[in-house]
Structure 1
Amino acid sequence: MPGQARPARPVPRRSWLSEIPDLLTRIVAGVIATAAVGYVVGFTLWTVLISFTDSTLLPEYNFVGFKHYWQLLNSRIWQVAYLNLTIYGLGFILGATGVGLLLAILIDQKIRGENVLRTIYLYPMALSFVVTGTVWAWLLNPTIGVEQFVRGLGWTQFKFGWLVDRDLAIYCVVIAAIWQASGFAMALFLAGLRSLDGDLYKAAAIDGASPARMYLRIMVPAIWPIVVSVLVILLQTAIKTYDLVRALTAGGPGIATTLPTNVVYDYMFQRGLMGAGSAAAVMLLLSLLIVLLPYAIFQRLRRGKGGGHG
């Protein structure tokens, strides 16, 4: 009859057979996750254990305490490596962040050919650090690179021998790293700027703020979480850098560009000192934790504040 409600259809019960694919998916995902976590945690703990032994090519479980840690802290190569890491890290992080932010601001002006420029700036990120190091080694080599090219133009007294200068070689590594990572920073900054409310731009324009002041005082603070994320990612990249130095300078001249990762590789795979190499790896891991733990706390606090406002 018109207006009479139709009886609800009974919901068909799902057969236990239909739940098997979901169950298998969960089991497989759980096994993979457990294996991955067990692999990382297990080998990390094993490395810590080996660092307290005198292991060489094969593990030896004779406890020697903090012997390797004290020897590392007092060794010249480790001190030079961490000094190089400080110089490289500061130059790389500040340079890549500054260049990336500048490129993002320029592209945010909606200039013609924006897509082409973004592709060009992002292209270095498609290359490995090995390729980047090899190319920059050619460019900075005094016999075949920039110096030889400029001399071929007539400036026969021109010199650019940073790559073979003990005091300046580390800055060659910084330049190559900035060239590769600045496009990544630009992409994140540009995404953050494009996500801002257009009213911010209008309000700043009405107040008569110059473009430089508008970005530095309003836009950049508005994307501060993205800025922090970029800084943390670049910092952990700097701490883990190995292949760029290996391809560009091989740690030289001498040990002028050696980083802690190069020391770990040298002890573990060239000298066969597994105990000392493990100690160096643990100290490198602690350096990473010093960076990542404050960032994790920052993110947790930010989410907590956001939830409180909600």
Structure 2
Amino acid sequence: MKILVTGGAGFIGANFVHTTVEDMPDADIVVLDKLTYAGNPASLAGLERVTLIEGDIADPDTVDPLVKDADLVVHFAAESHNDNSLNDPSPFITTNIIGTFVLLEAVRKYGVRFHHISTDEVYGDLELDDPAKFTPTTPYHPSSPYSASKAGSDHLVRAWVRSFGVAATLSNCSNNYGPYQHIEKFIPRTVTNLIDGVKPRLYGAGLNVRDWIHVRDHNTAVWDIINKGEIGNTYLIGADGELNNLQVVQLILEEFGYDANDFVHVNDRPGHDLRYAIDNTSLLELGWEPEFKDFKAGLADTVAWYRDNEEWWRPQKEAVEAKYAKTGQ
């Protein structure tokens, strides 16, 4: 099998490539990545049968020959940082909407199977005391330029399935954590700060709830959807891991042996969604189940990875902290 993975040098995509190399020894993988701040070639270092091509999914001349030569396209590539989308929405529109359109036209042209990775943020947020969870039929109600652009890309995929018969499935995932995540993100920033002896930062009161899933579990779910999912369907990927940000910071502090309240409050970001929660029933019906059912076990695995791979994240650390210092965070 020849697999084209867009955004495969980013966090979730790189982990998907690692999983695929381990589980499919005969697969040849081409990674197409723009190598922006979130794409890191070091995340793919040493992998056999993997070719990394630096390029833009919004460029048809780059995309067309790669899709023509593929049996499967797995589309991770996205601008995905909420804070960055508030500062400058334009790259999110170009990559997430135009880039997805370019890919869809190519898979339509060559009849290639397509899987689209999206986010639960397209559904907006839930009240903290609301017993409901997101389902594949939950109305879209995005809160930020990032989530709005991902909502737009989801609609494009569904339209191309219905209008043109493109063989595509979709998945909307909850918050991933694990190896190779850029250290500007919540968990790796907290972990690497503690490795450096710096107190973690927490937005506002830390009551915002996320449904956490280890990235390895996310990617085994993606393969189950590709292999067993129904064309045109959307599957929500989550592992029943609802925790608020305060609880996550406290669990990380405990993992390091520190007092659970030894952190610093910083100003909350604008439009910060309250709660995400995933109903993963349709995914479980495919026979999938997570390896890390216990968040503490997944967190310990993640902390160990960042301790053991300082050479991967250390070059980014100073610039990340300088950026946050300018905003008082």
**TM-score of the alignment, normalized to the shorter chain, above 0.5:** no
- TM-score of the aligned structures, taking structure 1 as reference length: 0.21
Which structure has the larger Rg? 1
More helix by share: 1
Structure with larger RCO (C-alpha < 8 A, sep 6+): 1
